[in-house]
Amino acid sequence: MLSQLQSLKFSFKQLNGIFLVFGMVLPFMIVSTIPLFHHKDVSTFSQWADCWQRDSEHIYENCKNAIFTPNYPYLGMALSAGVISEIKSFFRTNDIHSVAKYFRLFLAIFDAFNFLLLIGIARSLGLKYSVPIALLVALLPSTWSGGALWGQIDGISQFFLLAAVFALISAVQTAGHGKKAASTTCFAAALVALVGCLLTKQLTIFSVFALIPLLIFSFAKIAAASKIQRLTALGSLIGALGLFLVLDRRLSVPGYLGSSYLYVWLGGESRQHEMISGRISGNGFNIWMFLERDMMSASNEPFYCHPIFEQSMCLTPRGVGRTLYFGYVSLIGYLFFLLSRRLHHFGDNGEKQTRFILAASILFLVQINLGFNVLLTGTHERYLYHFYPFLMIVAIFYLPYRSLLNWRHFLFFIACAIVYGMFVLSILSPMPGDWPFSGKHRFVAAIHLILLGILTAFSVKLLKFLPNRQQTKPWWKS
């Protein structure tokens, strides 16, 4: 009997090893075997690369003849235009298909690292079978359709985001075990990753904002250890701010305090602030699909007007969308605050309590990402790239609590991930029959609106799940 158990244990280790290797090579298999990429995006990067080769420092000023003028912060430009310029020089090619081939292989490296980071996060949350869980996430079309395969750098921003989450979780857990040097190192690494995330794609601001509760929690855990730890953590925050300011001003930017980040958000040639809210949708989906307007039409066109005191009060998709999103963020923020306070009231429950708070923090990140995709105008097709991997991790964490989440919810989440992934793929290449649905944008918007409702209800159930106890001592001393 003992030998049989040992044999099973050995077999599982072998299987785990196979899954690990397969998950690492999967991104390279996808980009090598699926001959699809977004021609317009890669062509734009290729044009930026030509400008980068001529004068990288002034690329924002001297690359106005590209399909789209440069509209990423510094790291995003370096990791798209800079990398492709090196590919062109090294392989001596300007052929867009050759450029796409090598560039997507470069991007696949980050997808492979993302797989490893998912394993690390799953293990940190105490999930069994972390490798199969990460492989499940990696296999979902929602994970790979909009990254390396597409030819976009979203996988790199995902790498920085996953690294930040993993490092913050590690900072909290090592601080709880009295490993002071390890906790401050992880905290500093998380801040560096957040800087990288912000300067790769400007729209990651939503995800970085959503990590503020986790950032505060980890800082508080570290600061509670000693005055030196508190000062070290504070120094890391100041250092990260300095790193952001240095990298952000690495290129010459006309105006905007020399900031590439402000340039792409507040105007410049990129008009990112107009792109994100100036139209109904940028080929993405949101609740404004149900107006049945041209998705590229202006989002400030009223859909309802009513006279009040001889004045006409009009509602626009942009205005109502912002109001709804602000209200939604306020609601889930309040629910998260109540949940965190109630968890802190438990006192010394050790690792289980800490993991519950960490999982709730990731749930907050999930909801912030889904909310802005569903409620705001101007969304693109790939904006949910950060959403699904974290949703799957959180869902699996809470699955043992059947009063909160059951297998039907989980299967619905997987179905949504598949539908979303196929939706993104349909942008690259029409599906057979161009999908069996009419109005695919409205269909995908509808299921994600349902998903938003499910996750909001889940937050309420999670709050009710925890008994309301009186706090006996400060949570940071627990």
- Cα(424)–Cα(403) distance, rounded to whole angstroms? 33
The answer to whether 45 and 151 have CB atoms below 8 angstroms apart is: yes
229 vs 52, more confident: 52
pLDDT the model gives residue 224? 81
Task: Give residue 316's pLDDT.
Answer: 87
The arithmetic mean of pLDDT across residues 275-300, rounded, is 80
pLDDT, position 362: 94
Cα R_g (the chain), whole angstroms: 23
Q: Which tokens is 13 given?
A: 């280790």
Residue 433 has pLDDT above 60, yes or no: no
Q: Cα separations (Å) of 157 from 164, 174, 201, 203, 403?
A: 11, 26, 7, 10, 35
List pLDDT tens digits, range 348-374. Answer: 456 777 888 899 999 999 999 999 999
Q: How confident is the model at residue 475 (pLDDT cuts 50, 70, 90)?
A: very low
- Position 437 scores a pLDDT of 45
Give percent above pLDDT 90 in the chain. 53
Type of residue numbered 315:
L
pLDDT of residue 279: 80
- pLDDT interval class at 476 (50, 70, 90): very low
Specify burial of residue 111 (Cβ count, 10 A radius: 0-12, 13-18, 19+).
buried
Q: What token pair was written down for 199?
A: 């300067």
Total number of residues shown for the chain: 478
d(CA 404, CA 394): 12
Asked if pLDDT for residue 8 goes beyond 60, the answer is no
Predicted confidence (pLDDT) per residue in 12-31, tens digit: 778 888 999 999 999 999 99
Confidence of residue 283 (pLDDT cuts 50, 70, 90): confident
Per-residue pLDDT, 257: 87
For 403, counting Cβ atoms within 10 Å of its Cβ (0-12 exposed, 13-18 middle, 19+ buried), the class is exposed
Of 43-47, 54-58, 180-184, the range with the lowest mean pLDDT is 180-184
pLDDT at position 117, please?
97
pLDDT-derived band of residue 243, with 50, 70 and 90 as boundaries?
very high
Q: Is a pLDDT exceeding 80 seen at residue 2? A: no
pLDDT exceeds 70 at position 473: no
Question: Percent of the chain, pLDDT > 70?
Answer: 88
Long-range contacts of 221-227 (CB under 8 A, 24+ apart): 221/171, 221/172, 221/175, 221/176, 221/183, 221/476, 222/171, 222/175, 222/180, 222/183, 222/184, 222/187, 223/476, 224/175, 224/476, 224/477, 225/175, 225/178, 225/180, 225/183, 226/180
pLDDT band with cut points at 50, 70 and 90 for residue 436: very low
pLDDT of residue 474: 36
pLDDT bucket at 467, cuts 50 / 70 / 90:
low
Residue 181 has pLDDT above 90, yes or no: no
Query: Are 48 and 59 a contacting pair, CB within 8 Å?
Result: yes
| Cα separation, 8 vs 183, whole angstroms | 36
Q: Look at strands 304-308 and 311-315 and give their pairing.
A: antiparallel
Which has the minimum average pLDDT: 197-201, 244-248, 429-433? Answer: 429-433
Sign of the C-alpha dihedral computed for residues 179, 183, 189 and 190 taken in this order: positive
Does residue 300 carry a pLDDT above 90?
Answer: no
> Higher-confidence residue: 327 or 429?
327
Q: To the nearest whole number, what is the mean pLDDT of the chain? A: 86
pLDDT at 97 over 50: yes
Is the torsion defined by CA of 16, 22, 24, 30 positive or negative?
A: negative
- Mean pLDDT lowest for which of 6-20, 68-82, 150-164, 458-472? 458-472
So what's the pLDDT on residue 73?
A: 94
- For the stretch 377-392, pLDDT in tens is 888 888 888 899 999 9
Question: What residue ranges do the domains of the chain occupy?
Answer: 283-478
Let me know: does 168 contact 120? Beta carbons within 8 Å. Answer: no
Q: How far is CA 449 from the centre of its chain?
A: 18
Averaged pLDDT for residues 194-210:
93
Q: Quick: pLDDT tens for 212-230.
A: 999 998 998 888 877 888 8
Band of pLDDT at residue 272, cut at 50, 70 and 90? low
* Residue 35, both tokens: 């001959």
